[in-house]
Amino acid sequence: MTQAVTRQSVAASNLANIDTPGYKTREASFASALDGELSASSTEPVLQEVPNLATKRDGNNVQLDRELLALNKSAGDFSAAQTALSAKFRLVRYAINEGR
């Protein structure tokens, strides 16, 4: 869920800077997110510039369609994680109630 929120935040930041001259599109690094999840430490996500995007004359390379797609994908990922977590809590609640 945390990774979905991070990706959504980065996409929202990119959209907020869609008209900022010289702004480069950023994304959360999957490798750093995976390393953070595998280790016990909670590190800040590493944001990287996205290579090979078309750049406008003002140096900005944010693409509206790409960022809206990223927002929708991260919202779907968050919803799926929330559903899985809710199912686990239902199982725990069921186990507690059956013990009475």
* CB within 8 Å of 59: residues ≥ 6 apart: 21, 22, 23, 24
Against a cut of 0.85, is the pTM above it? no
Of all residues in the chain, the percent with pLDDT exceeding 90 is 64
Tell me the C-alpha distance between 21 and 27, whole Å.
18
Domain extent at residue 47: 2-98
Cβ pair 46, 92 in contact under 8 A: no
CA distance 59 to 17: 12
When divided into structural domains, the chain yields a total of 1
Which tens digits make up the pLDDT trace of 16-36?
999 999 999 999 876 666 666
